[in-house]
């Protein structure tokens, strides 16, 4: 059930590539946590009388459904981050080869081949121009279709990275939920001992609460940071793609024919109409003298 949903958000990746990518992200996640835990656990190695557990061992001991949920979301978040930076590159989002091919076809007036090319080409410009080409030859419907396609493509790109924002906001909430549950366990231990609880028993619930808080923040920070960077990147790429698509569409705009003269003959380019020659006034007859 999870794989089809992820494939929809990943832009149609194959199932095997998606599984390999998620396993790689999980390996990176657990390697990072393990290295951090070893570093944290070895800071106080000079005091052998009071051995301390590392963060990773505490997380393992406090594992529950919240821990597993945060780990699953961490793998999904890292996969979305990797996929977002791979797809939102200029070479993938709007390759120059596609743009040059479209420009050449427009110059050669190969519109039938252009329609076939834009239907199969995955670039942003091709997806924006294809609906416009199907509304030819009227330029106004073509422009409206292109603007609609650009809006849909932009919204789709933002939807793909929006899940990083959702996961980043869920991380602290899940950590807070685990913190509350850990504190409840600590107070339950105090209640069971009649208010005289052993600090070592209270430490178990408190450490569980803090581990959940740590994991929630560990999930939220990279997801929210990557979401901010990707949002700026997507905005810049979509604006640039819209400008290129509009430029290519203007190359297909039909030239306006000059209006015909009232006599039915079109004026020559650059000819300035001359005013009609005025007839001289008729001479006024001189009256004859009276006899």
- The confidence score (pLDDT) of residue 271 equals 43
Domain assignment present for 289: no
Pairwise CA distance, residues 13 & 29, whole Å: 22
Domain assignment present for 258: no
- Residue pLDDT, tens place only, 162-213: 999 999 999 999 999 988 888 887 777 777 777 666 676 677 777 778 888 8
Domain assignment present for 80: yes
Domain assignment present for 21: yes
Count the residues in the chain.
291
| 34 vs 207, higher pLDDT | 207
* Domain carrying residue 143: 2-42+53-251
Is 266's pLDDT higher than 80? no
Per cent of the chain over pLDDT 90 is 31
pTM above 0.85, yes or no: no
- The confidence score (pLDDT) of residue 111 equals 86
Helix crossing, 2-9 with 65-87: angle to 10°? 30
DSSP state of 283: P
The mean pLDDT of 65-93, rounded to a whole number, is: 90
Number of domains observed in the structure of the chain: 1
Domain assignment present for 25: yes
Q: Using an 8 Å Cβ cutoff, are 209 and 183 in contact?
A: yes
Domain assignment present for 272: no
- Residue pLDDT, tens place only, 131-145: 988 887 788 888 999
Residue 255 main-chain phi, psi, to 5 deg: -75, 135
Handedness of CA 128, 133, 134, 138 (dihedral sign): positive
Pairwise CA distance, residues 123 & 106, whole Å: 17
| CB contact set of 103 (below 8 Å; sequence gap of 6+) | 248, 251
Pairwise CA distance, residues 206 & 203, whole Å: 5
Which residue bears the tokens 């199907």? Answer: 134
- Residue pLDDT, tens place only, 196-209: 666 766 777 777 78
- The confidence score (pLDDT) of residue 192 equals 74
| CB contact set of 183 (below 8 Å; sequence gap of 6+) | 205, 206, 209
Domain assignment present for 286: no
Per cent of the chain over pLDDT 70 is 63
Domain assignment present for 183: yes
Is 7's pLDDT higher than 70? no
């Amino acid at each position: 059930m999870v794989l089809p949903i992820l494939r929809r958000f990943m832009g149609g990746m194959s199932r095997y590539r998606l599984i390999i990518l998620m396993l790689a992200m999980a390996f990176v996640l657990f390697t990072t946590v393990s290295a951090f835990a070893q570093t944290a656990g070895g800071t106080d190695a000079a005091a052998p009388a009071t051995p301390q557990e590392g963060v990773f061992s505490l997380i393992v001991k406090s594992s529950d459904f919240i821990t597993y949920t945060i780990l699953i979301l961490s793998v999904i978040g890292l996969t979305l981050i990797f996929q977002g930076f791979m797809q939102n590159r200029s070479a993938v989002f709007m390759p120059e080869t596609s743009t040059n091919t479209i420009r050449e076809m427009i110059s050669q007036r190969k519109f039938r081949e252009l329609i076939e090319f834009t239907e199969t080409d995955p670039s942003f410009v091709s997806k924006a121009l294809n609906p416009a080409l199907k509304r030819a030859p009227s330029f106004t419907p073509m422009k409206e279709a292109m603007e609609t396609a650009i809006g849909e493509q932009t919204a789709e790109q933002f939807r793909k990275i929006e899940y990083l924002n959702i996961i980043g906001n869920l991380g602290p909430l899940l950590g807070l939920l685990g913190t509350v549950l850990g504190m409840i366990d600590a107070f339950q231990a105090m209640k069971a001992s009649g208010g005289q609880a052993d600090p070592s028993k209270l430490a178990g619930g408190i450490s569980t609460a803090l581990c959940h808080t740590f994991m929630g923040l560990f999930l939220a920070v990279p997801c929210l940071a990557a979401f901010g960077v990707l949002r700026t990147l997507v905005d810049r790429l979509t604006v640039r793609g819209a400008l290129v698509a509009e430029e290519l569409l203007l190359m297909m705009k039909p030239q306006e024919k000059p209006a015909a003269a009232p006599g039915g003959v079109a004026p020559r380019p650059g000819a300035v109409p001359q005013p009609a020659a005025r007839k001289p006034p008729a001479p006024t007859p001189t009256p004859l003298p009276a006899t």
